[in-house]
Amino acid sequence: MSANDVLNQIRTIDMQIEISAKFHERHVNGYEELRLELQDIDSKYSRSPPTLLDHSKARKTLLAALVAVESGATIIEGYTLSQQIIKYHALDAAQVFRFAGKIIMRTQNLAALSDLLGCIRASLSHEDSAALCDDVVGACIRSYVHDTTHMEPLIKLLTSDINKIDAYILCNKLKSAYLLAVRLERVGDVKRIHSLAVRSNQEKIRQICEAFLVKFKHN
């Protein structure tokens, strides 16, 4: 083992001690938070909490997500430590924060999710942060698509209007999808909404889609 390998191992152990201390202080149980995801990824190790000493990047990814959400007194504090884990262990930041978003939404804490998105925006360029934030919100929407109470506020957190159209369609909010598609003159999306309206017997949506498409064709 080289000197660099030894230093990296020491750094990993020190970081794991810091994480364990923070989790203990805040009464966080990593296993309970991530049990289902661990079973999906690696049933062999799903009975034990993930640590930085694991060889599995999937388990480290889940740990980094929990760190982002639960290790600090604020999301900002947890995010900073999570960023260090991502850097030192070459993890996929998008995957980490998608999991973090889903952990937050288990308690339906939109304020905490907004704080996480704010941290992402503060640490990346506008273009990169917009894409990553929409990725995180999109993961939350897909996971909680049947939770109609929080779906509209989640969709409003999206940056891209195109992503909003897709989200409205996913949630079967065809009228909202139609209005946005028309405003953006996205004929292909109106056709898609029309097809869904036909299949789901949403007669009013079908009619307004057809009226728009006829008008657009003659313009």
pLDDT, one tens digit per residue, over 193-206 is 999 999 999 999 99
Please check whether residues 101 and 178 belong to one and the same domain: no
- The model's confidence at residue 87, banded by pLDDT at 50, 70 and 90, is very high
Residue type, 131: A
* Residue keyed to tokens 């065809």: 174
Shared domain check, 207 and 112: no
Q: Which residues form the domain of 109?
A: 3-159
- Same structural domain for residues 91 and 181? no
> What does the pLDDT read at residue 44?
53
Q: Yes or no: say if 52 and 15 are a contact pair by the CB < 8 Å rule.
A: yes
Residue owning tokens 């999301």: 75
Per-residue model confidence as pLDDT tens digits over 55-73: 888 889 989 999 999 888 8
149 and 189: one domain? no
Both tokens of residue 217?
A: 């064709």
pLDDT over 80 at 43, yes or no:
no
Of 50, 32, 52, nearest to 42 by C-alpha is: 50
Inside any domain, residue 211: yes
Q: Is residue 131 part of a domain?
A: yes
Residues 108, 69, single domain; the answer is yes
Could you give the number of structural domains in the chain?
A: 2
Q: Considering 159, 188, 208, which residue would you say is the last residue of a domain?
A: 159
